[in-house]
Amino acid sequence: MQYCACRRAGGNAGLNNTLDSRAEAGLRWAVHSLGGATLQLQAAAADASARRYLPVQGAGTALLLMDSPPEQVPLQPWLSIGELLRSQYLRVPKVLAADPAQGFALIEHLGDRLLLSELVDAQQLGAMPRVDSYYLQAMDNIYRMQTRIAPEAVPAYDEARLRMELELMPTWFLQRHLGVEPSCAEWDVLEESFRQLIDNALSQPQVFVHRDFHARNLIPTDEGLALIDFQDALRGAFTYDLVSLLRDCYVRWPEQDVYRWAESFRRMWVDSGRIADDAERFHRAFDWMGLQRHIKVLGIFCRLHYRDGKTGYLGDLPRVLSYVLDIAQRWPEFADLRALLLRVTATADLSAT
């Protein structure tokens, strides 16, 4: 979590040195956009990119100043995808003003209580009916995105991108984090596994994919679950968002619940006539898509730590690795991959730098 000092400004009020230059520029822009209102910026929440969100006080309604440096994370994709989702009656933050050239937007503040917090509380209380309700709502959102938004509205999640993401794991997890240089035989294992996972992803029905659909990116509201961090949406496999949700990198559920929820989603697709009634094929696609995502995430979390200085992600590596090992154990095609990962992590403290 990043922080910047609170600062009030209104009309031609001067700025002091307690804000960094981006926050100063954003505050001036917000004041101008709201007609000279007296505003205050508070603590800034950062996500896994260079984007951050600064709560605004003094506007008469709950707002966030989105600071999205254009040279690092252009704002226009977030605006465009948000409008696309909104046009299909999916709940996303409202936009009051935006300046893509500067990388600023004033958006609705939906609150600080993420779905993750609700799920963790329910998990601790053993309140599974509440958990079921949230997951049914979330899966309904996925299904609505997939069936209401034309896949061609977003770029393809193609082979090149899938391979690039998978290769983050050996680069950042094996080599950088664990200090392991794979042998030629181990590279062959990785390449063969990656080939099978890529083929699986490309063989599935291709739909609109949020690409980061998990409990930290869903916010309960009176109007249902709101979606955030949707700017990287692509056209990809129909199980991708589902596995992101049900095998969340930040909270884990018993497998019988995961498959029960996944089966309810499969039934939606079968009942609509979009896929054949083949449960075994679906569960293979679901499991293998999860392997692709979690292998990728092993690399991404290490890259966030070492390259971007975001130190909170290493603590989630054990959960993500356990997904990979557990699912790989169920499929003989990935026995060698599992053996490789077990060998290199057997004595490693994954959370240590």
* Cα–Cα separations (whole angstroms), residue 232 to 73, 161, 210: 10, 12, 7
Of 340 and 61, more confident: 340
The tokens describing 108, both together, are 């609705």
* pLDDT attached to residue 335: 98
Q: What does the pLDDT read at residue 39?
A: 86
Hey, which CATH number is domain 7-108, 3.90.1300.10, 3.40.190.170, 3.30.200.20, 3.40.50.300?
3.30.200.20
Output the CA torsion sign for 66, 72, 76, 80: negative
- CATH homologous superfamily for the domain 115-345: Aminoglycoside phosphotransferase (APH), C-terminal lobe (3.90.1200.10)
Residue 178 C-beta-side C-alpha neighbours within 13 Å: 23
At 128-178, the pLDDT tens digits run 999 999 999 999 999 999 999 999 999 999 999 999 999 999 999 999 999
- Mean pLDDT in the chain? 92
Residue 43's pLDDT band (cuts 50, 70, 90): low
Q: What does the pLDDT look like over 253-312, one tens digit per residue?
A: 999 999 999 999 999 999 999 999 999 999 999 999 999 999 999 999 999 999 999 889
The pLDDT value given to residue 49:
67
Interacting residues of 299 by C-beta distance below 8 A, sequence separation 6+:
165, 167, 168, 169, 170, 171, 172, 173
Q: Sketch the domain layout of the chain as residue ranges.
A: 7-108, 115-345
What whole-number percentage of the chain has pLDDT above 90?
85
Do the Cβ atoms of 236 and 206 come closer than 8 Å? yes
Q: What is the pLDDT of residue 5?
A: 33
Amino acid identity, position 71: E
Query: Could you tell me the pTM of the whole model?
Result: 0.91
Who's near 307: CB < 8 A, 6+ residues apart? 172
Q: What is the rounded average pLDDT of the residues 44-56?
A: 76
User: Looking at the predicted structure, is the pLDDT value of residue 7 above 50?
Assistant: no
Which amino acid, residue 66?
M
Q: What angle do CA 296, 324, 203 make, to 5 degrees?
A: 65
Residue 170 in contact with residue 190, Cβ under 8 Å? yes
Q: Is 10's pLDDT higher than 70?
A: no
- Is it the case that residue 8 has pLDDT exceeding 70? no
* pLDDT single digits (tens) 181-199: 999 999 999 999 999 999 9
Inform me whether the pLDDT recorded for 6 exceeds 80: no
